[in-house]
Amino acid sequence: MKYTRFLLLTLAVASLICSCKKDKEENPLSYYVTPYPYDIVSVEEPPASNEIRNVIFLIGDGMGLEQVSCAWVLNHGKLNLDNMGVVGLSRTYSLSDLITDSAAGGTALAVGQKTANSHIATDPEGNPIPSMFVKAQELGKKTGVVVTCLMPDATPSVFCSHSDNRYKYDEVVDGYAKSGVDFIAGGGLDYFGKKRKDARNVAEEMARAGYAFAQTETEMMEAHLPILALLADDNLPVSLERGDLFRHMAAKALAELSANSDNGFVLMIEGSSIDDWLHENRIDLAMEELLDFDRVLGDVLQWAAADGHTLVVVTADHATGALTLQDGDLAEGRIGVGFGNDSHNGIAVPYYVWGPGRNNFGGILENAELGARITSCIR
């Protein structure tokens, strides 16, 4: 009997080993080493009790803890995210699905209320819900969005527009024209004109209404508020091609918003394309987008440290790709990863907080509660 049990156990183990080898052969790991490692910033965090005048909210689309862990290895064990002293977890499910999409996930963060998938700052019945930008504007603060995606994509739109369907692009773009947002920078020029069903050119309409309309980085850098910078027909070029454009967009937003308001500002910055390349299971491009996002965060932290009155919050709307870090070398900055799918997952994502007001955060929160707490810090 003992021999039989031993034999069965041996066969089971052998079968498992063969199965694992087969799975590894059929699903080989994707390896990557970034050609552009960088030094992180060193900043002194202001007292938590300082008055909050500005809020900068950075969202890494698709950036779960697994993605951050991979980027940390690629940059030889350091990220600007390491400066963030308060860390917690955000649960991302929507009212309609355990696995959120970016519209519902972003809405929860922007308005402090959960909704159903596909909804842009509306409740499940389609009723508009004001984002944190509305509160900021009522208090006389400036507002801005900086993204690497097309402007009518889900995350920037939940701060600036409303729709019961994220793919009603004409309706979403119309919301930008009505939003009163002072600094708008990203891609998606075609969606403001060429791709519209009604043949309107909303970009030109916004220019006639007073926006400085920029189509190049040079034009953006020379413009003054209010600014509409649509720097690509669709999404911006990938990180490896666009150079420091994302950093320059964020720096310009900080300069313009801070110089033109005595009451402070609220700025949302999204690393949009992290998610896009995770959907494609392209670890190389996804990681370069995340590392570029972290470089932008470093710039933001340096600015905020000099200011002393700026709350900085970083999180994700969800994680993407069912990513697993299975191999690599910290000294070499090399990773080997596997993907479980090409879509989102329901794992809680980290959030990070720095600066005055940080004592309002910590622990496990619903994404809507995280959004509500950020909104409560707009004063």
Q: Decide: residue 334, CB within 10 A, 0-12 exposed, 13-18 middle, 19+ buried.
A: middle
- Asked if the model's pLDDT at residue 312 lies above 90, the reply is yes
The stretch 306-323 carries a mean pLDDT of: 98
Structure tokens at 317: 């709307």
Q: At 333, is the secondary structure helix, strand, or coil?
A: coil
- Asked if the model's pLDDT at residue 6 lies above 60, the reply is no
The pLDDT value recorded for residue 5 is 44
Report angle CA 277, 279, 280 to the nearest 5 degrees.
Answer: 65
Q: Are 281 and 22 in contact (CB under 8 A)?
A: no
Lowest pLDDT segment from 26-30, 94-98, 132-136, 310-314: 26-30
In angstroms, how far apart are the furthest CA atoms of the chain?
A: 88
Confidence of residue 313 (pLDDT cuts 50, 70, 90): very high
Distance CA 365, CA 102 (A): 18
Distances (CA, A) of 28 to 246, 326, 345: 33, 11, 21
Q: Decide: residue 301, CB within 10 A, 0-12 exposed, 13-18 middle, 19+ buried.
A: buried
Residue extents of the structural domains in the chain? 29-376
Structure tokens at 304: 């905020």
The stretch 34-58 carries a mean pLDDT of: 97
Report which of 351, 280, 363 is spatially closest to residue 320, judged by C-alpha positions: 280
pLDDT tens sequence across 344-355: 999 999 999 999
Instruction: Tell me which of 94, 102, 118, 161 is the catalytic residue.
Output: 102
- Asked if the model's pLDDT at residue 361 lies above 90, the reply is yes
Bridge partner list, 310: 54
Structure tokens at 290: 């995340």
The pLDDT value recorded for residue 261 is 84
The pLDDT value recorded for residue 27 is 63
pLDDT tens sequence across 156-215: 999 999 999 999 999 999 999 999 999 999 999 999 999 999 989 999 999 999 999 999
Confidence of residue 288 (pLDDT cuts 50, 70, 90): very high
102 is catalytic: yes
Q: Beta strand pairing status for 334-339 and 30-33?
A: antiparallel
- What is the fold, at CATH topology level, of the domain defined by 29-376? Alkaline Phosphatase, subunit A (3.40.720)
Torsion region of 284: left, alpha or beta (phi above 0 gives left; psi -120 to 50 gives alpha): alpha
Residues 6+ positions from 35 with CB-CB distance below 8 Å: none
The pLDDT value recorded for residue 1 is 43
Q: Beta strand pairing status for 227-230 and 212-214?
A: parallel
Higher pLDDT, 29 or 25: 29
Q: What amino acid occupies position 108?
A: A
- Count helices and strands (H / E) in the chain: 13, 15
For the beta sheet containing 227-230, the strands, ordered from the edge strand earlier in sequence to the opposite edge, are 212-214, 227-230, 183-187, 142-150, 265-271, 54-60, 310-315, 349-354, 86-91, 363-366
The pLDDT value recorded for residue 116 is 98
The stretch 54-60 carries a mean pLDDT of: 98
The pLDDT value recorded for residue 25 is 53
Residues of the chain above pLDDT 70, percent:
93
- Asked if the model's pLDDT at residue 19 lies above 50, the reply is no
The pLDDT value recorded for residue 68 is 98
Distances (CA, A) of 350 to 69, 85, 294: 11, 13, 15
pLDDT tens sequence across 118-146: 999 999 999 999 999 999 999 999 999 99
pLDDT tens sequence across 254-279: 999 999 888 999 999 999 999 999 99
The stretch 308-331 carries a mean pLDDT of: 98
Report angle CA 115, 52, 151 to the nearest 5 degrees.
Answer: 45
Q: What amino acid occupies position 117?
A: N
Confidence of residue 11 (pLDDT cuts 50, 70, 90): very low
- Asked if the model's pLDDT at residue 26 lies above 80, the reply is no
Q: Are 160 and 171 in contact (CB under 8 A)?
A: no
pLDDT tens sequence across 83-132: 999 999 999 999 999 999 999 999 999 999 999 999 999 999 999 999 99
The stretch 25-47 carries a mean pLDDT of: 92
